[in-house]
Amino acid sequence: MALENSSLRGIARPLLLYLSQETGETIYLSVRKNLQVVYIDKIESRKPVRSWNPVGALRRSIALEPER
């Protein structure tokens, strides 16, 4: 699934930019892959404290974890 979602990125990019401008926060576009998400685009915040999840990274999806 690499970053071959370029058409999705292109479609979503204006909305990501809008959300970033409106909130001042870092905005991610991700897609689910099994029980993980892969980040396919990101608009960085201009604030001094930032999160670090690179585009292309796989992360466990917290929302999909079973209750403990």
pLDDT at 65 over 90: no
pLDDT at 61 over 80: no
- Distances 42 to 6, 30, 39 between C-alpha atoms, Å: 13, 9, 7
Tokens 């604030």 locate to 47
Sign of CA dihedral 21, 32, 36, 67: positive
Q: Are 29 and 54 in contact (CB under 8 A)?
A: no
Half-sphere exposure in the Cβ direction for 45 (13 Å, CA): 14
pLDDT of res. 68: 44
**pLDDT tens-digit map of 5-57:** 578 999 999 999 999 999 999 999 988 888 888 889 999 888 877 666 767 66
